[in-house]
Amino acid sequence: MNVLRSYVGGAWVVGQGELETLVNPATEEPLAQAGSGGIDRSAALEFARAKGGAALRALTFAERGALLKGVCDQIQAHREELIDLAVANGGNTRSDAKFDIDGATFTLSTYAEIGKGLGNLKVLADGEGVTLGRMARFHGQHILTPRHGVAIHINAFNFPAWGMAEKAATALLAGMPVLSKPATSSAIVSHRIMELLVEKAVLPEGALSLLVGGVGDLLDHVGAQDVIAFTGSGATGEKIRSRTSVIARSVRVNVEADSLNAAILGPDGEAGSEIYDYFMKDVLRDMTQKAGQKCTAIRRVLVPAAVADRLRDDLSDRLKAVVVGNPAHESVRMGPLATKQQQEDVTDGIAALARDGRLVHGSAQVEAVGVPDGKGFFVGPVLIEVEPGAAAPTVHSREVFGPVATVVPYDGSASAAAEIVGRGQGGLVSSVYSEDAAFAGELTLGLAPFHGRVFLGSAKIAEQSPGPGTVLPTLVHGGPGRAGGGEELGGLRGLSFYMQRTALEGSRPVIDRIVKPPS
């Protein structure tokens, strides 16, 4: 069987010892094996720091942007092959797989353009300069320079292409080399992308390394100039943050974790109205796209009590039409969960949520199309509802990472909606569907402190918008509290995690010479 390798120290390395078998989650057919035993993580980090860091810092932002364009072109050129791998190893439908692969290329090309726009610079000015003395000559200016360590990227299983690319794009443009660790269960796509980049020598030596398999003792070797960007469960995020090596060396850590994203229909969302239909379409897509395994997927569906029954019934009707099964089959609209463990967790989660209210559509059991009997990690789309005014503690605290959402009726006021959503203790994104600007405005101010992004759904943007579940490279991704307290992307903002902000204080001509591009 194909054994996935790691690319560290400028060479492909096969892990020793016990290997994990990666399967097709629809059929449980083994696809590859992976392991990282015996790999010298300390040497891998040192190589990246010495070779990759030096090479990237020697380049201007425009040159680094051109490297990202090269990465993007390779993924684009092998798009069909990567989609096929994501269908097999990720349980993705073709549409789910495109969401991942095209999300990767879109993010890379956005950052390539940002690099081009920054041009000949190697240092970024952070904000305007300030006059510090009586005369303009005594000047202050903040600057950002690339950190001299490695950006360690630990990714979740659900976006093997986008997750790898969105983190790498910002770090490489900032001038930091990357060591990327995909989740083992779905690593085939990330591994293939790495092969493509190595084959064509798209990046300088040491700029991008790939560790396939368990993280092992990697984090014991972090240094004070390294950074860690992690996406995954809150529990793993906590372990990373609390490692002695991380605390002792003040290593910067960015955590993207769980989120109980809410979608709120405004009081103007009468049944059958344009905004009602738009709302339902977005909820339906978020529940079923990637079988609900999206950190940004809508989990809590807040609906004015007056339309809650109607919406529940309409949504249930639509969910009945979703064909679940092997995504290799043309008719299938929703694939399996990524692993047996996920299937077990989601099944337990459905039972726990249902205890807060009642299950109104679907169940963990589902008849899957095009699958050998009893095989595959399937869960059907499930809708739960709670009573108006119910405390529903599990609904507001437990992320069930699958095709599952809960209808939560509320009284139609912005203050009640904000209070209910706030019980989630911080999220990545929540969305407000209303044409009533006063309601949307009041609710936005109630939601914003608890979210990294607020999506304002209106029929006026419906045709152009991919909905709240899509992370855009020009807008911030991350959120406070439960969501991990992290922040990624956001255009130029995303670079600052990988750079040191330094205040310069001195004579203006000297500072200008440092900050302004050489002519």
Q: Which are the catalytic amino acids?
A: 256, 295
91, HSE (Cβ side, Cα atoms, 13 Å): 37
- Does residue 184 interact with ligand NAP by CB under 6 A? yes
- Report the run of H or E that residue 451 belongs to, with start and end: strand 451-457
Partners of 181 in the beta sheet? 154
For residue 416, the Cα-to-chain-centroid distance in whole angstroms is 29
Residues 423-462 that bind ligand NAP (CB under 6 A): 428
**Candidates 63-71, 227-235, 272-280, 373-381 — which segment interacts with ligand NAP by CB under 6 A?**
227-235
- Does residue 398 interact with ligand NAP by CB under 6 A? no
**Candidates 43-51, 54-62, 156-164, 276-284 — which segment interacts with ligand NAP by CB under 6 A?**
156-164
Biggest alpha carbon–alpha carbon distance for the chain: 81
Are 215 and 182 in contact by the 8 Å Cβ rule? The answer is no
Q: Angle CA(225)–CA(43)–CA(198) in degrees, nearest 5?
A: 95
Of 269, 277, 185, 200, the residue nearest 232 (C-alpha)? 185
Q: CB-wise, 256 or 282, nearer to ligand NAP?
A: 256
Are 129 and 86 in contact by the 8 Å Cβ rule? The answer is no
Residues 54-113 that bind ligand NAP (CB under 6 A): none
Of 382, 251, 271, the residue nearest 324 (C-alpha)? 382
For residue 334, report the phi and psi dihedrals to the nearest 5 degrees: -140, 130
- Give me the helix-helix angle, 274-288 and 305-320, nearest 10°: 50
The distance of closest approach from Cβ of residue 289 to ligand NAP in the complex, given in angstroms and rounded to an integer, is: 13
**Candidates 37-45, 64-72, 195-203, 229-237 — which segment interacts with ligand NAP by CB under 6 A?**
229-237
* 41 three-state secondary structure: helix
Residues 242-261 that bind ligand NAP (CB under 6 A): 256-258
The distance of closest approach from Cβ of residue 109 to ligand NAP in the complex, given in angstroms and rounded to an integer, is: 20
The distance of closest approach from Cβ of residue 332 to ligand NAP in the complex, given in angstroms and rounded to an integer, is: 23
- Does residue 495 interact with ligand NAP by CB under 6 A? no
Q: CB-wise, 143 or 350, nearer to ligand NAP?
A: 350
Question: How many amino acids of this chain bind ligand NAP (CB under 6 A)?
Answer: 25
Q: CB-wise, 422 or 452, nearer to ligand NAP?
A: 452
Q: CB-wise, 240 or 332, nearer to ligand NAP?
A: 240
The distance of closest approach from Cβ of residue 212 to ligand NAP in the complex, given in angstroms and rounded to an integer, is: 9
- Does residue 226 interact with ligand NAP by CB under 6 A? no
Going along 110-207, which residue ranges are E strands?
124-131, 138-146, 151-154, 178-181
- Does residue 45 interact with ligand NAP by CB under 6 A? no
The distance of closest approach from Cβ of residue 50 to ligand NAP in the complex, given in angstroms and rounded to an integer, is: 24
User: d(Cα 327, Cα 77) in Å, to the nearest integer?
Assistant: 23
Q: Where are the alpha helices (DSSP H) in 200-250?
A: 234-241, 244-248
With the CA atoms of 458, 463, 464 and 470 taken in that order, what torsion angle do they form, in degrees rounded to the nearest 10? 80
Structure tokens at 189: 């796509």
User: d(Cα 371, Cα 123) in Å, to the nearest integer?
Assistant: 55
Q: CB-wise, 285 or 299, nearer to ligand NAP?
A: 299
The distance of closest approach from Cβ of residue 216 to ligand NAP in the complex, given in angstroms and rounded to an integer, is: 9
User: d(Cα 190, Cα 280) in Å, to the nearest integer?
Assistant: 34
- Does residue 173 interact with ligand NAP by CB under 6 A? no
- Does residue 240 interact with ligand NAP by CB under 6 A? yes
- Does residue 232 interact with ligand NAP by CB under 6 A? yes
- Does residue 154 interact with ligand NAP by CB under 6 A? yes
The distance of closest approach from Cβ of residue 10 to ligand NAP in the complex, given in angstroms and rounded to an integer, is: 23
278-297 mask for ligand NAP (x: CB under 6 A)? -----------------x--
Q: Please count the other Cβ atoms lying within 10 Å of the Cβ belonging to residue 331.
A: 9
Are 99 and 90 in contact by the 8 Å Cβ rule? The answer is no
- Residue among 148, 181, 300, 451 that touches ligand NAP (CB under 6 A): 181
- Residue among 72, 156, 174, 383 that touches ligand NAP (CB under 6 A): 156
Residues forming the site for ligand NAP (CB under 6 A): 154-158, 181, 183-185, 214-215, 231-233, 236, 239-240, 256-258, 295, 399, 401, 428, 483
